[in-house]
Amino acid sequence: MRVVLFCHSLISDWNHGNAHFLRGVTSELQARGHSVTIFEPHNSWSLQNLIADHGAQTIHLFHEAYPHLRSVRYGDDLDLDRALDGADLVIVHEWNQPSLVEQIGNHRTRNGRYRLLFHDTHHRSVTDPDAMQRYNLDDYDGVLAFGNSVAERYRANGWGKRVWTWHEAADARRFFPREGGEPDGDLIWIGNWGDDERTAELQEFLMDPVRDLGLNARVHGVRYPPEGILALAQAGIEYAGWIANFEAPYAYSKFKVTLHIPRRPYLMALRGVPTIRVFEALACGIPLICAPWDDAENLFEPGADYLMARNGAEMTSLLRELLADRQFAAGLASHGRKTILNHHTCANRVDELIGIFQEMEQEPAAMPAAAVPIA
């Protein structure tokens, strides 16, 4: 099968979590013998910010980590006839420009017999529906939504002919426990600032407990304002800036526990949608404690895969207990990792994707417009 993907960026994961999943799914498709071509704009904001902050050598580091992954970087010269020639399945991510999304849909109607899907891994369907209205999905076979609540928004608004829930997952080839001796710190959190979407939550569930317990803690992420970095320092937390996602497993191995602190849209409107870092952390075998979120889709087993703190006081208590009882922590981490390996790897998601493709193939293919008989 020839698969073509249009994404915001394969190379850069600076404030761009979809790159994590894209790399894992592409690696799995390639391992199964499928041909995968990835297109990304030459001047994506994620890559521009990454280079501005850390230099062009970050591109070389990506290629060293993923020698089998390459993308075609395009500008105004994108030739869709050439790009989509011989494609069986085309997936277009929602961070592409609406004009490109529509152009690909038009191409499918005029020329293509491939299957065409739109992929949504963000909360804009809830937080910025006007922006999502700009996407013309009339010529798409359907939508891949990364949670049931997102899928329900698409159905309710009539966006797309069909909608499938297709959760994110961990790349088990990359995310697994690294052996490195005893951890040299207590707590690590990898996550971006998130504007005002979780400022209070970071204070309650991260900074206050770390300060009260006197933990050795580190935070990685981007877009932290000066006042955010100052707040971390006042809590005794090291702010270590951006970390390449492929380095995250090594970072997790140096600490005893990590956290999941969801942004407010995921609590208030996107019930049951975890971020991809939940899958990745559990895959790395590090104990996880979550700030409140509703696992409405029963992806995990709370209390067995991770612990849940309803407020800051509970977070402090659970951190104290988990760090004091290494056997308890090891059992929690082991159970969480088994759940990932059984249900939430990129291999699982590729199985689902192939099933969706086969489901679509059982239906009549759309005929190119020029070939539609005239009544």
**CA atoms lying within 13 Å on the CB side of residue 19:** 21
Q: Tell me what pLDDT residue 273 has.
A: 87
pLDDT of residue 361 exceeding 50, the answer is yes
Tens-place pLDDT, residues 267-318: 777 788 888 999 999 999 999 999 999 999 999 999 999 999 999 999 999 9
What pLDDT is stored for residue 370 in this prediction?
41
Confidence of residue 127 (pLDDT cuts 50, 70, 90): confident
Q: How many CB atoms lie within 10 A of CB 224?
A: 18
What number is the average pLDDT over the span 198-204?
A: 94
* Average pLDDT estimate for 140-168: 95
pLDDT, tens only, 2-53: 999 999 999 999 999 999 999 999 999 999 999 999 999 999 999 999 999 9
pLDDT of 337 strictly over 50: yes
Tell me the whole-structure pTM to 2 decimals: 0.94
CA distance 341 to 218: 27
Mean pLDDT across 347-375? 74
For residue 263, the model assigns a pLDDT of: 83
Q: pLDDT band for 184, please (50, 70, 90 cuts).
A: confident
| pLDDT reported for residue 181 | 77
The encoded tokens of residue 174 equal 């990359």
For residue 214 the two structure tokens come to 């006197």
Residue 310 neighbours by CB under 8 Å, 6+ apart: 292
Write out pLDDT tens, residues 73-119.
999 999 999 999 999 999 999 999 999 999 999 999 998 889 999 99
Q: Which residues contact 167 (CB under 8 A, 6 or more apart)?
A: 146, 147, 297, 299, 344, 349
Write down the pLDDT at residue 366. 53
Q: What 3-state class would DSSP assign to 315?
A: helix
In the chain, % of residues over pLDDT 90: 87
State residue 179's pLDDT score.
85
* Torsions phi, psi for 221 (to 5 deg): 160, 175
Give every CB contact of residue 44 below 8 A, 6+ residues apart in sequence. Answer: 8, 9, 12
Q: How far apart are CA 367 and CA 371, in angstroms?
A: 6
Residue 325's pLDDT band (cuts 50, 70, 90): very high
